[in-house]
């Protein structure tokens, strides 16, 4: 296992301990809104602090892009950059819904090199290193073998901050509902992507994501034999925030279906 991946796992597990302890006393949480329907708790901040402390202790020269604290060294300032979501699914967490995770990725320039997604509720640890495959609790994982969209289970996420394209979302959701085995919207994009990587979902789509929502999961899917792209099927999803993923056979028809509904403002 790559040394950087080992450190990321250590950081994720330390954050998971903080989150698990706090989950027993949700009524005591201080919750604030960064913007409408976008919440942060002291748990997010504590988890992020311990992740950054752990990573910087081992790799002091690496940059950090983290959801709560922002960028401590941009991609232009450091060859390597950690991309961190300390608690993906905060809204689920504060409501006691056990669907949230810690997501940590390491990028070298524009290349994703290492990935960790840790679900502290199920003690499920998803890991990947570029060129070395993807794993769930040390067991090799692959995307599903499904080849037909109509047999596929698709994950998604609906708008919760900005609703400029809600009609587009609903039109896409309606057609996918009619042409697949079903859709799911649990509310933690990093876990949704991990589920594509291990075959629980056959595809995923969402608009308006942040790099820390996508980075680790995108590498997991690629290393598990799946495809990841933006709304043009290209590799700019970390920049655009718009992402489609799936098995090799499901990706193309899912992309084609979604493209048919997109206004020019959300293409790419």
Cα torsion 54, 59, 60, 62: sign: negative
215 by Cβ neighbours in 10 Å (0-12 / 13-18 / 19+) ranks as buried
Predicted local confidence at residue 39, as pLDDT = 57
Contacts of 45 (CB under 8 A, 6+ apart): 68, 86
pTM for this one? 0.93
Q: What DSSP element (H or E) covers 215? A: helix 211-223
Cα torsion 151, 183, 169, 178: sign: positive
Cβ atoms < 10 Å from Cβ of 219: 28
Contact 40, 90 (CB under 8 A): yes
Q: What is the pLDDT of residues 129-160, one digit of tens each?
A: 999 999 999 999 999 999 999 999 999 998 66
The pLDDT tens digits along the chain (268 residues) read: 899 999 999 999 999 999 999 999 888 777 776 655 455 678 889 999 999 999 999 999 999 999 877 776 544 467 899 999 999 999 999 999 999 999 999 999 999 999 999 999 999 999 999 999 999 999 999 999 999 999 999 999 986 665 677 888 999 999 999 999 999 999 999 999 999 999 999 999 999 999 999 999 999 999 999 999 999 999 999 999 999 999 999 999 999 999 999 876 665 5
Q: Domain extents for the chain?
A: 3-141, 149-266
Predicted local confidence at residue 76, as pLDDT = 44
Superfamily of domain 3-141: Fructose-1,6-Bisphosphatase, subunit A, domain 1 (3.30.540.10)
Q: What is the pLDDT of residues 167-207, one digit of tens each?
A: 889 999 999 999 999 999 999 999 999 999 999 999 999 99
Predicted local confidence at residue 128, as pLDDT = 98
Contact 113, 106 (CB under 8 A): yes
First to last CA, the chain: 35
CA 233 – CA 42 distance, rounded (Å): 37
CA 101 – CA 98 distance, rounded (Å): 9
Q: Which CATH class is domain 149-266?
A: alpha beta
Predicted local confidence at residue 240, as pLDDT = 92
Q: Computed over its alpha carbons, how large is the radius of gyration of the chain?
A: 17
Phi, psi at residue 143, to the nearest 5°?
A: -65, 165
Predicted local confidence at residue 6, as pLDDT = 98
CA 63 – CA 81 distance, rounded (Å): 4
């Amino acid at each position: 296992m790559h040394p950087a991946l080992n450190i990321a796992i250590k950081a994720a597990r330390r954050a998971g301990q903080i989150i698990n302890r706090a989950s027993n006393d949700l009524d005591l949480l201080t919750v604030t809104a960064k913007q409408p329907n976008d919440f942060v708790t002291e748990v997010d901040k504590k988890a992020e602090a311990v992740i950054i402390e752990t990573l910087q202790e081992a790799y002091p020269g690496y940059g950090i892009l983290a959801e709560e604290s922002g960028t401590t060294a941009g991609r232009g300032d450091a060859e390597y950059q950690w991309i961190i979501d300390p608690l993906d699914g905060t809204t689920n967490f504060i409501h006691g819904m056990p669907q949230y995770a810690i997501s940590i990725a390491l990028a070298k320039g524009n290349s994703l090199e290492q990935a960790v997604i840790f679900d502290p509720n199920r003690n499920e640890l998803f890991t990947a290193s570029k060129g070395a495959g993807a794993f769930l609790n040390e067991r090799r994982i692959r995307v599903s073998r499904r080849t037909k969209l109509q047999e596929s289970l698709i994950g998604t996420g609906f708008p919760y901050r900005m609703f400029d394209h809600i009609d587009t979302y609903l039109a896409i959701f309606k057609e996918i509902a009619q042409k697949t085995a079903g859709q799911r919207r649990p509310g933690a994009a990093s876990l949704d992507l991990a589920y594509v990587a291990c075959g629980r979902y056959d595809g995923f789509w969402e608009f308006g994501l942040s790099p820390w929502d996508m980075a680790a999961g995108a590498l997991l899917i690629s290393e598990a034999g799946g495809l990841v792209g933006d709304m043009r099927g290209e590799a700019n999803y970390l920049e655009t925030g718009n992402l489609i993923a799936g098995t090799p056979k499901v990706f193309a028809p899912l992309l084609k279906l979604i493209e048919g509904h997109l206004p020019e403002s959300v293409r790419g």
